[in-house]
Amino acid sequence: MTTETKGYNLSIAINNFQLSYNDVGEGSTPIIFLHGYPFDKTMWHLQLSFLRPTYRLIACDIRGFGQSKDEESTLGIDLFGDDLIAFMDKLNINKAIVCGLSMGGFIALNAHQRHPNRFEALILCDTQCIADTQEIKENRYKIIDDIAVNGPSHFNEGFVKSVFYKDSLINKKDLVDNLRTVVFANSQHIISMGLKALAERSETCSTLGEISIPTLIICGREDEVTPLAQSEMMHKGIKGSILHIIDHAGHVSNLEQPIEFNKPLLHFLTSLSEVGTEKPNGNQDSLI
């Protein structure tokens, strides 16, 4: 891909839909950013702005979300993982560093489980490896039923409030409003299909021990959607992984505390450049 064609809101045909993405900066190994549910690629704009001078950065709208419109397909984490690999193939990317938040982390772990040779490193943010319990799965389907009758507004508003640290809801109203706009831009169909995709996902915890690439795990200390305990469990399961905890942040730690998020992100990426991609021995807690 030439410099002239790189930029924002590009589009490419893969797997029978048009995937929208940003592709900025320069670097030998691209970093692909996967957003959470029910957000879009704009949630990574502060990371792209920060890292753009040094790295090639690609932020995708996952199928059905943002500008990657698909109102027909049955969404699922397996399908999203297939899309990621097909996208990399289309851009002639053999290996990438993949950074996923929440559902984006589910996709990264799913795709790595099936295609480990396509990953140079993993960055797992405010996510988890477990599947839904039966109780949580049943609750998601109850929400889907309610949305079918009453529309998604009540769910959307409650979800927006759930992803922020309580202080952010009071002191960062513009940020909350911006994310609310992104969530409410989704169609009712995509909100419901996304919930189904989350409910039906498979666990990836049983294969954490097979991950042999450098892995950074980041979690907001106040994350109530994918609690810190889940990140700690992945940290223990992935040999040589690094865990960084961000204070005063909930589920969208990259938005709530971008400076504190970007520090360990840059430190991790710099360490890959300096010493290659050989994993250190033993798990590490971040000292940043």
Give the Cα separation of 122 and 109 in Å (integer): 9
The number of beta carbons lying within 10 Å of the beta carbon of residue 157 is: 13
User: How far is it between the farthest Cα atoms of the chain?
Assistant: 55
Tell me the three state secondary structure of residue 207: helix
Instruction: Write down the pTM of the prediction.
Output: 0.94
CA distance 196 to 75: 8
pLDDT tens for each residue of 43-98: 999 999 999 999 999 999 999 999 999 999 999 999 999 999 999 999 999 999 99
- How far apart, in whole angstroms, are the C-alpha atoms of residue 220 and residue 212? 25
pLDDT digits (tens, 9 = 90+) for 88-120: 999 999 999 999 999 999 999 999 999 999 999
Instruction: Name the fold adopted by 3-129+203-285.
Output: Rossmann fold (3.40.50)
The mean pLDDT of the chain is: 94
Alpha helices, DSSP H, located in 53-187: 77-90, 103-114, 134-150, 153-162, 166-171, 173-184
Amino acid identity of residue 64, one-letter, is G
The rounded distance, in Å, linking the Cα atoms of 22 and 45 is 10
Sorted by where each begins, the domain ranges of the chain are 3-129+203-285
